Amino acid sequence: MQQVRLSEFARYFFMDPALLADPYPMYDRLREADSVQFDETLQVWILTSHAAVTAALRDSRMRADRMSAGREIPSDFAYLKPVFDFIAHQMLFKDPPDHTRLRTLASKAFTPRRIELMRAQIQAIVDELIDAALPAGRMDVIADLAVPLPTTVIIRMLGVPESDRERFKRWSDDFAAFLGTRWLSSGDAALHSLDEVRAYLRDLIAARRGNLGTDLVSAMIAAEEQGDVLSDEELHANILLLLAAGHETTTNLIGNGLHALLRHPDQLQRLREQPELAPSAVEELLRFDSPVQNTGRLAGEDLEIGGKRIAKGQFVVCQLAAANHDPAQFAEPGQLDIARRDNRHLAFGFGSHFCFGAPLARLEGQVAFETLLRRLPELRLADDAAVAYTPNITFRGLQSLPVAF
C-alpha cells in the first residue's frame, strides 16, 4: 500500500496529541514558511498571518456558507446530511442577504442593555461558585466555575429551565465536537442530539408563543412576528447557536486564561494589584490562547490573497490563533502582557461575522478573573495539576484545571 505523507497541519487536523497540546510552534513554522499556503494533503488553503486572515474575513467574495454550498459530503457520511442542513441555518454559516436578516433580527433580542443587566447576576453566580469551593480549599476551575458560569448565564438569558442544564451542555458539547473535528468521529452523537434539540425547541417555542416574556427566546419569537420572518428551522438553529456558542467558548476563555495567568505569576500579581486592568487582561488572554482557533470560508469567486490565487470553490482555513501570534502585528507575541495596547486580536473573528456574543463573553471573563484573584489570594495550580486539552482543533480548551487556594 502506498504510504501517504501527511503535512504537519494535516497531522494537527487529525489530532496529533503533541500538536494539539501546543500548536503555537507549528503556527510559527507555517507562517514563516508561507502565510498563505495550499495544503496538498487536506486540499485547503491555510492562512496564518494577521494580514492574510483579516483580508480573507473582510472579503465579500469569501462565503461563510460552507455547510450547504458547493461542498460534497463523502458518501460514507451522507447519513449526517440532516446535521449539516440544520447547522447551515445558523447565521455563522450564512451570507447576505440571509446573514444580514438573521443577525439583525437576533440583535434585536441581544441588546447591550440586556447584557449589562446581567452584570449583577454574573457577579452573584461567580461568588456562589467560589463560596461552594471554599471549604475544600481546592477546585477544578473548569468543572466548578468555567462550565457552570456561562451555562447558567445563557440559560437565564434564554429563559429556559435550569433543570435542563445537563441536556443543554450535552447538546452543545456534541455540536462543538462535530464542528471541531468535522464529522470524523462525532457524527452519531450530533445526529442523536439534533433530534432531541428539535423536539425540545419545538415544544419550548410553542409554549412561549402564547406567553411571551422578557427572555431571549421570547424576543426572538417577537422579532419573527414583526413580519421579517424567521422560519422555525432558523429559529431553532439560531437558538441552538446562542446556547452552544455561549457555552464552550467562554468556558475556554476562563480556563485557558487562568491557566496562562498561573503560568505567568508576574502578570497574575499585576492583575491582582491593578484590577482595573481586567478589560485589557481579558483581551490579552483571548489573544494569547484563543478559545476559537480557526474558522473557515469558501472562495465564492477566483480571488487573490497575499499574492496567491485562490480558485472559486476552494476552502480556506483562517487560523485565528496563528494570526494572534503574528510578530508583524504584535510586539513579542509569545509574551503575555495584560496591559498590551492596540491589541487587535482576532479571537472574536473579524468583519461581518464578528462574534455576536463578544460583549457578554468579555463581561463574564472580566468578572470571573477579577473575582477569582480578589477572593483567592493564595490561588495556585494544584500540585498534582494534570492539565490536558480537549481533542478539538477549533475549540481549544482544558478538560480540567485543578487549583488550590
Counting residues that bind ligand HEM (by CB under 6 A) gives 24
Cβ contacts of residue 337 below 8 Å, gap of 6+? Answer: 267, 284
User: Per CB under 6 A, which region of 9-17, 224-232, 269-277, 352-360 contacts ligand HEM?
Assistant: 352-360
Residue pair 123/367 in contact (Cβ under 8 Å)? The answer is yes
φ/ψ (deg, to 5) at 232: -55, -45
Provide the minimum distance between the beta carbon of 64 and ligand HEM in the complex, in angstroms, as a whole number.
6
CB nearer to ligand HEM: pick between 27 and 356: 356
Amino acid at 376: L
310 by DSSP, 3-state: which? Answer: strand
Out of 360, 373, 379, 401, the only residue in the binding site for ligand HEM (CB under 6 A) is: 360
CB nearer to ligand HEM: pick between 259 and 353: 353
Amino acid at 331: A
- State which of positions 365-404 bind ligand HEM (CB under 6 A): none
Q: Alpha carbon of 316 to those of 53, 110, 294, 299, 304: distances in Å?
A: 10, 30, 10, 7, 12
Provide the residue count of the chain. 405
Provide the minimum distance between the beta carbon of 219 and ligand HEM in the complex, in angstroms, as a whole number.
13
Out of 246, 255, 300, 397, the only residue in the binding site for ligand HEM (CB under 6 A) is: 246
User: Per CB under 6 A, which region of 33-41, 227-235, 247-255, 262-270 contacts ligand HEM?
Assistant: 247-255
Distance CA 332, CA 330 (A): 6
Out of 160, 241, 278, 323, the only residue in the binding site for ligand HEM (CB under 6 A) is: 241
Provide the minimum distance between the beta carbon of 149 and ligand HEM in the complex, in angstroms, as a whole number.
11
165 by DSSP, 3-state: which? Answer: helix
| Enclosing H/E stretch for 252 | helix 232-263
Site membership for ligand HEM, residue 291 (CB under 6 A): yes
Out of 49, 172, 218, 249, the only residue in the binding site for ligand HEM (CB under 6 A) is: 249
Cβ contacts of residue 110 below 8 Å, gap of 6+? Answer: 216, 219, 242, 356, 357
Site membership for ligand HEM, residue 217 (CB under 6 A): no
CB nearer to ligand HEM: pick between 153 and 403: 153
φ/ψ (deg, to 5) at 295: -140, 170
Site membership for ligand HEM, residue 54 (CB under 6 A): no
Distance CA 191, CA 187 (A): 6
- State which of positions 74-93 bind ligand HEM (CB under 6 A): 91-92
Site membership for ligand HEM, residue 180 (CB under 6 A): no
CB nearer to ligand HEM: pick between 306 and 351: 351
Site membership for ligand HEM, residue 361 (CB under 6 A): yes
Out of 330, 348, 369, 389, the only residue in the binding site for ligand HEM (CB under 6 A) is: 348
Residue pair 171/197 in contact (Cβ under 8 Å)? The answer is yes
User: Per CB under 6 A, which region of 12-20, 200-208, 225-233, 343-351 contacts ligand HEM?
Assistant: 343-351
Site membership for ligand HEM, residue 176 (CB under 6 A): no
185 by DSSP, 3-state: which? Answer: coil
Provide the minimum distance between the beta carbon of 282 and ligand HEM in the complex, in angstroms, as a whole number.
9
Question: How many Å separate Cα 190 from the centre of its chain?
Answer: 17
Residue pair 325/24 in contact (Cβ under 8 Å)? The answer is yes
Provide the minimum distance between the beta carbon of 228 and ligand HEM in the complex, in angstroms, as a whole number.
16
**Which residue in this structure is represented by grid cell 429559529?**
235
271 by DSSP, 3-state: which? Answer: helix
CB nearer to ligand HEM: pick between 181 and 250: 250
Residue pair 292/320 in contact (Cβ under 8 Å)? The answer is yes
Packing angle between helix 148-158 and helix 358-375, nearest 10 degrees?
140
Site membership for ligand HEM, residue 253 (CB under 6 A): yes
User: Per CB under 6 A, which region of 43-51, 74-82, 116-124, 344-352 contacts ligand HEM?
Assistant: 344-352
Out of 180, 333, 349, 397, the only residue in the binding site for ligand HEM (CB under 6 A) is: 349
Distance CA 145, CA 276 (A): 22
Which residues form the interface with ligand HEM (CB under 6 A)?
91-92, 103, 154, 241-242, 245-246, 249-250, 253, 291-292, 295, 320, 347-349, 353, 355-357, 360-361
